[in-house]
Amino acid sequence: MSEFYLFHDSAKCIGCLSCEVHCKEHKRLPIGPRLCRVETIGPKWVGSVPKIDFVFMPCYHCDRPWCVAACPTGAMQKRAKDGIVFVDHDLCVGCKACMRACPWGAPQWDPEKGKVVKCDYCMDRVDQGLEPACVAKCVTKCLHFGKPAEMVDARRERHAKAMAAMATEVTLRQPVAGPKAKPLKPKRKQAQAPAKGA
């Protein structure tokens, strides 16, 4: 497994595709290959409201990547120091074996180079201590990049905040056992009726 993890907070994603745009810009890709993809799910109806979800699909940098095993020239490689899967373009002959092997569609064809390209977490940026281009330019900050333990902590924090936001009212019960327990109501002073003839 890669030393790094890219987490997509779907609750914040608005499907603006800025991640895709900045990925293409950083990698100088032509029309066609999409190294990270935002897939639209829906619309589906939730009550009377249409809802659309967005799923971020980068390379998953698998523990045992099928693309690496399928590559006959050794162009598709996994970096030993951090587990990032990348393409050595000097060795790639454009046979597309890696594209057929990957169940996620991560390796993409670059028609201008006649070679395969794929998400490599912007290795050049990561090696400088920077985030991948897609994460750095995410408009809603729904993409997070880091170590897996950091991402678990971020998800826990997000879940705790969501639960706290939903916990707006607590119903207290009288200390009576059984089914006759009733909610406590604050005692209010009753307004006295005006005196007759006043």
Question: In sequence order, what DSSP letters do the residues of the chain get, joined into one string?
Answer: --S-EEEE-TTT-----HHHHHHHHHHT--SS--SSEEEEEEEEEETTEEEEEEEEE-----SS-HHHHH-SSS-EEE-TTT--EEE-TTT-----HHHHH-TT--SEEETTTTEEE---TTHHHHTTTPPPHHHHT-TT--EEEE-HHHHHHHHHHHHHHHHHHH------B-S--STT--B-----PPPPPPPTT-
Q: Is residue 57 part of a domain?
A: yes
pLDDT at 186: 58
Whether the model clears a pTM of 0.75, i.e. scores above it, the answer is no
Q: Is residue 90 part of a domain?
A: yes
pLDDT at 99: 98
Q: Is residue 146 part of a domain?
A: yes
pLDDT in tens, the chain (198 residues): 678 989 899 989 999 999 999 999 999 999 999 999 999 999 988 889 898 999 999 999 999 999 999 999 999 999 999 999 999 999 999 999 999 999 999 999 999 999 999 999 999 999 999 999 999 999 999 999 988 877 777 777 777 777 777 776 555 555 555 555 555 555 565 556 666 665
* CATH code of the domain in which 43 resides: 3.30.70.20
